């Protein structure tokens, strides 16, 4: 498994976590408390965006990759937002994981490349994340296939 923070990808003996007398799990547990202080401002931004979604219908995306964010910030964000009821995993040019947080209307969307490394980490404030919405062209292609299948079915019943 490739860690976002790269701890299990370190290869020089002087940098490897085990050379410090701690296992990877121990080091990651310790680092999960290290913060930049950016989790709380992000949570306030989420609150304002959710208010705008409810009052004006404005959707918002917060790119966590564009913000200095340490493991402790991620931990705080996860603890406050919690887990929701809906999730999806998509496979297209890598894996995308979409899950609702415990705050309805607030979604986490994580994109990975084919090697399992993070490409982007987003918070979407929306009723349904963009990646899950059917595109107009796809719906049209689906309608065309359905019409064709129904016509074929009708021809088969007549013979």
User: SS3 for 102-118, per residue?
Assistant: CCCCEEEEEEECCCCCE
Render pLDDT for 21-76 as a digit per residue (tens, 0 to 9).
Answer: 556 777 666 666 777 889 999 999 999 999 999 999 999 999 999 999 888 899 99
pTM, two decimals, is: 0.71
pLDDT of residue 99: 95
**What domains are defined for the chain?**
1-31 (no CATH), 35-134 (3.30.1370.140)
Instruction: Give CA–CA dist 25/86, Å, rounded.
Output: 29
| Maximum C-alpha span of the chain | 77
Which two tokens mark 3?
């860690």
Which two tokens mark 77?
């964000």
Q: In the predicted model, is pLDDT for residue 100 greater than 70? A: yes
pLDDT of residue 3: 41
Nearest to 36, CA basis, from 65, 2, 72: 72
Contact 114, 93 (CB under 8 A): yes
pLDDT of residue 35: 77
- pLDDT band (50, 70, 90) for residue 15: very low
Dihedrals φ, ψ of 8, to 5°? -90, 10
Nearest to 112, CA basis, from 122, 103, 102: 122
């Amino acid at each position: 498994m490739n860690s976002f923070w790269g701890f299990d990808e370190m290869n020089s003996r002087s940098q490897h976590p085990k050379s410090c007398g701690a296992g990877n799990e121990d080091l990651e547990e310790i680092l999960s408390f290290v913060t930049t202080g950016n989790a709380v401002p992000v949570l306030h931004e989420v609150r304002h965006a959710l208010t705008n979604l409810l009052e004006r219908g404005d959707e918002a995306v917060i790119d966590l990759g564009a913000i200095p964010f340490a493991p402790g910030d991620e931990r705080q964000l996860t603890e406050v937002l919690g887990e929701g009821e809906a999730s999806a995993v998509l496979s297209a040019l890598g894996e995308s994981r979409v899950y609702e947080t415990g705050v309805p209307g607030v979604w986490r969307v994580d994109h990975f490349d084919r090697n399992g490394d993070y490409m982007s980490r987003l918070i979407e404030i929306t009723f349904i994340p963009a990646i899950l919405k059917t595109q107009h062209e796809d719906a049209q292609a689906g309608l065309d296939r359905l019409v064709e299948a129904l016509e074929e079915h009708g021809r088969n019943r007549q013979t």
